[in-house]
Amino acid sequence: MIAAKLYKLAVLIRMLNLSYIHDPKVCSPTIKIGKHGRRNNPAPVIRVYVDETKNTRNEYLLTSPKAEKWKSLLEEQVRRSDIENHLEFRSELEKIDSPCKMPVISKETSYSRKVFDTLIERNDPDIKKEHVFDGHRFRSKSEMLIAQLLKSLGLEYKYDVVVSFDNEVFYIDFAIYCHETGRFFFMEHFGDMGSERYRLRTFHKITVYTEHGLVEGSDILYTYENNENDFDLNVYECKLLSIIAAHAQYHTK
C-alpha cells in the first residue's frame, strides 16, 4: 500500500499548490522589478501595478522604506510563478482524488473499451517539448514516430499510462485500442538497451508484467532499440498488424 499512499500524498500536494497559486492575496496586485532614470545611471525600482491593463502603477526605489513592504509579496509571486510553470496537468488528472481509481492489472483483466477508457495518462511535466505530436510530448523521437505510425493505422492510443501491479506503479509507453477488434493492448518500447542499468530495469518490468498475466504478442508488445541497431518503423508496423490479426482471429472463432 506504500505506492498508493505516496500517490495520494502527491495528489494532495498538487491540490495545495493549486490553491496556493490561485490565492488572490498572492496574485494581486502585480509587482515587478524595473529600472528608472538616465540610461547611463538607471536606478532599480519596484513597480506596483494598480491596474495592469491600463499600465497604472506606482514606483518606489528598491532601497527606499516604501519598497520594503512590497518585497515579501514579490517573493511570493515569484514562487507562485515557479510552481505554476511546473504544474502541467490535463483535465482528466484534475478528477483524480483517490489512488483507488488507478487501474490494477491482473490475470483477470479484460482488455475491453471500458477498461481502456479508465486508463490515465501520466503527462510527466519533466518531458521536454522537443518531440511533440497529436497533443502529446514524447520522451524520444522513436516514441513520437511510433505514435505517428499508430495514428496512420487508425489506432487509438494513450501515452505513458499509469497502471498498478499489486502495490507497484508502472508507466507503460502505450495503450493501443483497435476499433475493429474492440480490444486494446499495451506496448513498451525499450529504447536504451545499450545501457546495463536500463536493461536490468527492462527485465524487471517484463518479469512483473508476465507474472501478472500479460502475454507477449497478445496483451503486450515489446520493441527494442539500442545504439547499434537502426530504428525501423516497418518492423514495428508488422508486429502491430500481427497482434491485431491474432485478436481478430480469436474473436471470429
Domain residues for the domain of 124 are 91-252
C-alpha cell at 152: 496512420
Do 54 and 97 fall into the same domain? no
Pairwise pLDDT comparison (179 vs 30), residue with the higher score: 179
Model confidence pLDDT, tens digit, residues 168-226: 889 999 999 999 999 999 999 998 888 888 888 899 999 999 998 999 999 999 998 87
Query: Is residue 27 scored above 90 in pLDDT?
Result: no
Kindly state the DSSP code that residue 63 receives in the 8-state scheme. Answer: T
Please tell me the total number of residues recorded for the chain in this structure: 253
Do 64 and 104 fall into the same domain? no
The pLDDT of residue 189: 94
Domain boundary among 44, 59, 86: 86
The pLDDT of residue 192: 84
Model confidence pLDDT, tens digit, residues 74-96: 777 666 666 555 554 433 444 44
Listed residue (110, 106, 108, 103) closest to 185, CA to CA: 110
Answer yes or no: are the C-beta atoms of 80 and 20 closer than 8 Å: yes
Query: Is residue 231 scored above 90 in pLDDT?
Result: no
Do 24 and 139 fall into the same domain? no
Do 134 and 191 fall into the same domain? yes
Kindly state the DSSP code that residue 125 receives in the 8-state scheme. Answer: T
Q: What band does 230 get if pLDDT is binned at 50, 70 and 90?
A: low
Query: Which ranges of the chain does DSSP label H, i.e. alpha helix?
Result: 2-21, 24-27, 65-86, 91-94, 113-118, 141-152, 196-211, 233-252
Percent pLDDT > 70 in the chain is 71
pTM (two decimals)? 0.60
The pLDDT of residue 62: 73
Model confidence pLDDT, tens digit, residues 40-69: 677 788 777 766 555 677 777 777 777 777
Domain boundary among 86, 117, 134: 86
Q: What band does 5 get if pLDDT is binned at 50, 70 and 90?
A: low
Domain boundary among 51, 86, 121: 86
| Alpha carbons 163 and 213: distance in angstroms, whole number | 14
Query: Is residue 237 scored above 50 in pLDDT?
Result: yes
